[in-house]
Amino acid sequence: MEVTFQGNIQNLDIPHKIKVKDLYNKLGLSPEEYLILKDGKLITHDKYLDPEDKIRIVKVVSGG
C-alpha cells in the first residue's frame, strides 16, 4: 500500500485487505487527529482498504 504522509511517500507491507480503523492502530495514529483519503475522498473507519490502494493521511486542522 502506498501511503503519502506529511509529504513523504512510503510503501506499507499490507498482505490483505485491512479495515481503516485497524490501519490507524497499525500506524499508531488517532482518527481524531488524522484523516485517511483515497482518490481524494474521505474513507470512513468501517471501510476496507486493499494492499494495492494509494492513500493519503492528512492532519485535522481546526480553529476558531
- pLDDT tens digits, one per residue of 5-52: 999 999 999 999 999 999 999 999 999 999 999 999 999 999 999 999
Grid cell in block for residue 30: 488517532
CA distance 5 to 13: 16
CATH number of the 2-59 domain: 3.10.20.30
Domain positions in the chain: 2-59
Whole-number pLDDT of residue 64: 67
Amino acid in position 31: P
Q: What is the pTM of this model?
A: 0.87
Q: Tell me if residue 25 falls in helix, strand or coil.
A: helix
CA distance 8 to 22: 21
